[in-house]
Structure 1
């Protein structure tokens, strides 16, 4: 950006608008920014994707549908926005063709915070696969403002070709509006590979890493995060379950595409022996004392297992003259084996 002067950008925008007036089309022409990347190997370097919010709306005809509760549906109706209720979504019955048709019918979706956690259950993974998982809206937000925010947000993706292309406006915008989109948002955001919005999210582990980065950058302790969410520090550290996904995304200011990953069922464990020293010691302790724990559980409760679903644990510091000790308490519901 420092190599391109403001005067040069202004001249380019003015020339572009002049050309569009001299050769008018029967449709509204889109203004697209193309960036050629140098010294970047798409075969070796990480491909990235993300979103950029522009100062002025580049696509005013973009269709945004509200998936809302009763209040949001009423508000959407008053403001002339398309909407669907939970009952409307249930009628689709997770039919892949119907969900695919819904995804194609709109450019983006908004969802009530009270409804968004039900989207995967009601529609399956269809919207997420289409790259149109809804953005969250609360009753404190203006639907029109949220819709305009989405309309001002454009997506980009780094593929095999060393060129990024993104729509930054249209020829009916003023020179100043196009210039603002070009200078203040598009180039700076696209070339900032460190922003979270520019990060391609391909797994739940990616979201976990983003949470850890935010935690460190904000100087937070898990106890502080837990207090904000109204949960124990142990539960908060271990779980980002479906009903808490929206709170986690909001608290850590994560992109909305993190929501579906936080709503997936957590994996049971990583295969192989842990390489992390702290995890390895826990693995070692379970290897040494696990058989004894199993025998004692069976002796006390009978033949069965301890649940890791109906489960809680606590980590405490235990003072000791020879050095503080780590005290871990596990509490899981006993599940007897069914005889049949």
Structure 2
């Protein structure tokens, strides 16, 4: 009898995301087990229980998924799980807390593709402002953009101190330079986007962070992307279905939540399939970004 594919899903939160459970099932995992309210010590124990119980052949059909709501904690848990393994007992591991790794990867990949239509260097040298930048998607989007050569600022509606703390903490953790900028009021938002080439709107659902009047201050804008699918739109004029559509009243294009969401879905699905089909895979946001880029290149090839 062939051994089943088992996915152990670990989260520091009180529950595992039903979205991620559905995605795991659709990727071919047959037994999916959540472990909630886990800490770093739990990750070590759960990992070693998972690897030693199936033998070298069984571990090839075993995976570990790290969830939660904190991008930095999830990255630490991913590293801890890898460290806890003892060759040849090694399984595939993936982290995607609240979908932030795959969402951020999809968002930045879509923006990069749109920017390359206007300039060959993509994101390199561009000024990128991440509104709602202290949340998990905003932080990882900022890291990916910085790694791609952009000058990145994380904005917070709670003011400059919160923004700078998040930027310093995130940049130090992932080895990039990120700045903090205030988004505490309308004047601060307008000042922050005045010299922005790209706006990444990563704020809470149903919150408009950039109004039509605010956009008038973004004279250099090339691309505005928004992950908010709940009305009103996070960036005025960017519809959820927009896929590099000209943004009225500006020289920029807009990328909406569902356009990003399609790339996010394909990215997460393909990573979960890779976990299953390629034993010993270690998948974080860098791998998610590579997968999102590959999906967009594949899609462009089909329509080109």
Q: TM-score, normalised by structure 2?
A: 0.25
